[in-house]
Amino acid sequence: MRRALLPVLLAATIAGCALAPSTPPAARAPATAERLLASLARMTTMDELALAAEAARAREAAERGSDPFASVEAALALSLAATPDDAQILDLVAPVLAAQPPADPGIRAMAGFLQAIASDRRKLRDSLATAGAKSRHYRQEAQSLRLRAEAQQERADRLQLKLEALTNLEKSLANRPNADDPDRRPR
């Protein structure tokens, strides 16, 4: 998942830099984009434990100084985890997107991208849970119908046996001598 997400994150970071207004070379946008790319490159080489530690470190840094870069960096680390916590990612990027004055364009672009990914993933998980619940319901309903059909078949089999027994009884009575003479029938 992390390897597949890398090109998309790189493109988002570069696109965020493209959104930056034309300013003199001393502007922060390229430096921010470079820092985001460096963080992303470093995080993609980490294992799960190191990635979780990195997310915790960045989250603590964001809480200490309300640094939008640290918030986005923590959200980025969380999004690269094997099981990303979408609620935490959304909590981390929401203040960056709502900040007044707006945060650096590169940071805002990455925060918006991470928000979109987390929101879409959350919707997909909700849809999957709904589909799973429907599937369980349909399986239970099919099982119930199968059991009902089996019960009906057993009943039909029993009735068929009774019908055959009555038919055999009728034949045996019809084949008896003097079966048609009402005076000679056994009493």
**Helices H / strands E in the chain, number of each:** 6, 0
For residues 82 and 88, the answer to whether their CB atoms sit within 8 Å is no
Check whether 23 has a pLDDT greater than 70: no
Q: Does residue 157 fall inside a structural domain?
A: no
Residue 39 domain-assigned (yes or no): yes
How distant, in Å, are the alpha carbons of 51, 52, 79 from that of 47?
6, 9, 13
CA angle 26, 31, 33 (to 5 degrees): 135
Q: Helix crossing, 29-44 with 2-18: angle to 10°?
A: 180
Predicted confidence band of residue 30 (pLDDT cuts 50, 70, 90): low
146 occurs within a structural domain: no
At 4, list the tokens: 């597949």
Determine what percent of the chain is predicted with pLDDT higher than 70.
Answer: 78
Segment 165-183 shows an average pLDDT of: 78
Domain containing 92: what range?
2-127
How far is residue 149's CA from residue 157's CA, in Å, rounded to a whole number? 12
Assess if residue 136 is contained within a domain: no
This prediction has a pTM of 0.59
Tell me phi and psi for residue 173, to 5 degrees.
-70, -35
CA gyration radius for the chain? 37
Query: Is the residue at 31 inside a domain?
Result: yes
Q: Is residue 105 part of a domain?
A: yes
Taking only the tens place, the pLDDT of each residue in 90-125 is 999 998 898 888 878 888 999 999 999 999 999 999
Cis amide bond preceding 101, omega within 30: yes
Q: What does the pLDDT look like over 121-164, one tens digit per residue?
A: 999 999 999 999 999 999 999 999 999 999 999 999 999 999 99
- Give the residue carrying structure tokens 């995080």: 43
> What would the two tokens of residue 72 be?
């986005």
Residue 134 belongs to a domain: no
Query: How many separate domains does the chain show?
Result: 1
Q: Find, among 28, 89, 95, the residue nearest to 68 by Cα.
A: 95
* Residue 176 counted as domain residue: no
